[in-house]
Amino acid sequence: MTGREFELYCRDILQEAGWRAALTPGSGDQGADIIAEKEDRRVVIQCKFYNGTVGNKAVQEAYAAAAFQDAPYAVVVTNSVFTKSAHQLAHKNGVLLMHHSDLPRLELIVTSGAGSR
């Protein structure tokens, strides 16, 4: 699976869960791969399909993309795991880190207040 195929896969999961989810064009998006909306929730998602660990750069990209897109929620989703440093940075900046298998529960997670910048 390529990175773009992973983005499509994540978008499809979100759409099946009732989100209006669209891929960004890839340039000029300031780090957003998917913008998902449901009711009054707007979420910017950075997708990382990695063999290794996902680090701080992905958290920084998601945070910047959410600010650029005026979205209160920033998420990094991966098929892999996050570094300890990425967890620390995400916690400090209100960025939600998720495994792709958790995407169907995104609404419940953001409703609970997690991942709100």
Give the pLDDT confidence score for residue 81 in this predicted structure.
97
Give the pLDDT confidence score for residue 85 in this predicted structure.
98
CA distance 61 to 18: 25
- The encoded tokens of residue 11 equal 């978008």
The CATH label, of 1.10.443.10, 3.40.1350.10, 1.20.840.10, 1.20.1540.10, for the domain at 3-108 is 3.40.1350.10
Q: What is the CA radius of gyration of the chain?
A: 12
Q: Are 75 and 96 in contact (CB under 8 A)?
A: yes
Mean pLDDT of the chain: 92
pTM: predicted TM-score of the whole model, two decimal places: 0.92
- Domains of the chain, by residue range, sit at 3-108
